[in-house]
Amino acid sequence: MTKTPITVAYGDGIGPEIMSATLRVLEAAGAELDIETVEIGEKVYKRGVDTGMDPGAWDSLRRTRVLLKAPITTPQGGGYKSLNVTMRKALNLYANVRPTIAYSPFVETKHPAMDLVIIRENEEDLYAGIEHRQTHQVYQCLKLITQPGSERVIRYAFDYARTNGRKKVTCFVKDNIMKLTDGLFHKVFDQIAAEYPDLEHETLIVDIGAARLANTPERFDVVVMPNLYGDILSDVTAEISGSVGLAPSANIGDGFAMFEAIHGSAPDIAGMNVANPSGLLLASVMMLVHIGQATVAERVHRAWLRTIEDGVHTRDIFRDGVSQKQVSTTEFADAVIARLGEQPQVLKPVSYREDAAIAHRKWQPVPKAHKQLVGVDVFLDWQPGSPDDLGHQLKAIGVGDLKLEVITNRGIKVWPNGLPETFCTDHWRCRFRKPEGAGVEPNEVVELQRKIVESGFDVIKTENLYTFDGVPGFSAVHG
């Protein structure tokens, strides 16, 4: 077999110990790897590289397109960018894949039957990192959900389920509140689900879905969701499975992939040879499947399962009466190597197809709709008086038929006919529209803003209001 080039980063804290243990197991199992080692993390940050990854590391990754990464330490203080977020966006790693399995009775858990995979959109949502302070009292974070971003991760989830013999895909959203953003994710999910009639599918509001996931995780199989929900709930499921230290993670894109454990660098135990390498080892199993070495992946995973069954445990999962021997990091790797070729006797055996890597399909752009400007939301920093005072002043400002329609504060209608009990901040949304939803010219919006500014108001931003094939592309006003 031709050796597959991969990039390896030993990381910080316990990273070098668990990476050395992992690579020893892979070598003993017969993995055909051409390894390029790079330095990333704390030392690189402290050399003045704000991303934690110098140009040489990027060059290696461009050559190999596969990164096996140990945890890193981001120095405290401002000015340091998250390496993971940078890589996900720079390399288009749009799908975060987090298998979560209970290993009862060998690893303690209240959910012995859980066996699920969370697939999280990895680039968008609130993690776009677009934030602003707009007034003395109000800060804003933009939530971005796109049609291509949603389609790619949802289609990946269905392809993953089909390829790996899973039966159901569940979508978590909050589109009863965020009707446009989460509504788009839900709509795309339903469209793609129709292409996979062999798989069950369902959609749950994220709050009840999260409750069920924590209480009865065994009812789920593959769960796909936007970035923030997935970030939180993948950690929840890892914890309730028995140990975060056993959980692997893959970040998958069209041309690149990154594999890692989900835990941190644990500097408090660095150099003590006590860390559990299982999360990184299982991530390397996912890597082997991805690069087409499924047979080796099976050998490693089965030997690891047999080691867990035999009660050879590191201190984080060691339990009197269940565990047989507490071992160090290096001793755990030795135990897995000694069991290569063996099968688990109690835990579910694993098998991987040689063609199990998911083939990437390009997203299909939707036909362009007729887009029409129909109004504008003008946001003001204003505090001198009541909503009625503001409404009275803005009613006198307009451009032709483009007049003030409604004012909201924190999303609640406060003018006209607002409730006096409503608490207001210094951040006001003032919606201007024409009668009967008539069209608006861009120069009318510019002229309106000029008049508002000349009247002494502090305009902090505007949002144009559009319809798409007659359907409003903006949220309705509630109050």
Q: Are 40 and 127 within one domain?
A: no
pLDDT at res. 128: 82
Q: Are 384 and 356 within one domain?
A: no
Q: Are 33 and 122 within one domain?
A: no
Say which residue the tokens 């690149």 belong to: 256
Provide the domain limits for residue 217: 110-228
Domain contains 197: yes
Q: Are 396 and 466 within one domain?
A: yes
Domain contains 151: yes
Q: pTM for the full model?
A: 0.93
Cβ atoms of residues 4 and 65 within 8 Å: no
pLDDT at res. 360: 67
Among 305, 327, 360, the domain boundary falls at: 360
Domain contains 76: yes
Q: Are 346 and 258 within one domain?
A: yes
Q: Who contacts 180 (Cβ-Cβ below 8 Å, separation ≥6)?
A: 473, 474, 475
Among 228, 259, 287, the domain boundary falls at: 228
Q: Which of 335, 382, 323 has its CA nearest to residue 103?
A: 323
pLDDT at res. 389: 96
- As a whole number of angstroms, the distance between CA 67 and CA 7 comes to 5
Percent helix, strand and coil across the chain, each to the nearest 5? 35, 25, 40
Q: Helix or strand or coil: residue 73?
A: coil
Cβ atoms of residues 148 and 183 within 8 Å: no
Paired tokens of 33: 């790897």
Q: Are 184 and 221 within one domain?
A: yes
Q: Which of 399, 405, 406, 407 has its CA nearest to residue 450?
A: 399
Say which residue the tokens 């199993």 belong to: 285
HSE-up (13 A, CA, CB side) for residue 257 = 21
- Residue stretches of the chain with pLDDT short of 70: 1, 356, 359-361, 479
Q: Are 302 and 389 within one domain?
A: no
Q: Are 249 and 321 within one domain?
A: yes
Among 304, 335, 360, the domain boundary falls at: 360
Neighbours of 471 (CB within 10 A): 8
Q: Are 217 and 246 within one domain?
A: no
* CATH number of the structural domain spanning residue 115: 3.40.50
For the stretch 312-368, pLDDT in tens is 999 999 999 999 999 999 999 999 999 999 999 999 999 998 776 776 667 778 889
Per the structure, the count of domains in the chain is 3
Q: Are 70 and 125 within one domain?
A: no
pLDDT at res. 359: 67
Region label for 166, one of left (φ > 0), alpha (ψ between -120 and 50) or beta (otherwise)? beta
Amino acid at 218: E
- As a whole number of angstroms, the distance between CA 413 and CA 429 comes to 9
Domain contains 191: yes
Query: Quick one: CA dihedral 252, 257, 259, 263, positive or negative?
Result: negative
Domain contains 138: yes
Domain contains 340: yes
Neighbours of 111 (CB within 10 A): 19
Q: What percent of the chain has pLDDT over 90?
A: 87
Domain contains 478: no
Domain contains 296: yes
Q: Who contacts 384 (Cβ-Cβ below 8 Å, separation ≥6)?
A: none
* CATH number of the structural domain spanning residue 376: 3.30.70.1570
Paired tokens of 345: 């006797």
Region label for 205, one of left (φ > 0), alpha (ψ between -120 and 50) or beta (otherwise)? beta
Q: Are 114 and 223 within one domain?
A: yes
pLDDT at res. 479: 63
Paired tokens of 262: 């989900």
- As a whole number of angstroms, the distance between CA 442 and CA 194 comes to 40
* CATH number of the structural domain spanning residue 343: 3.40.718.10
Q: What single string gives the DSSP state of each residue in 127-190?
A: GG--EEE-SSS-EEE--B--HHHHHHHHHHHHHHHHHTT--EEEEEE-TTTSTTHHHHHHHHHH
Q: Are 352 and 251 within one domain?
A: yes
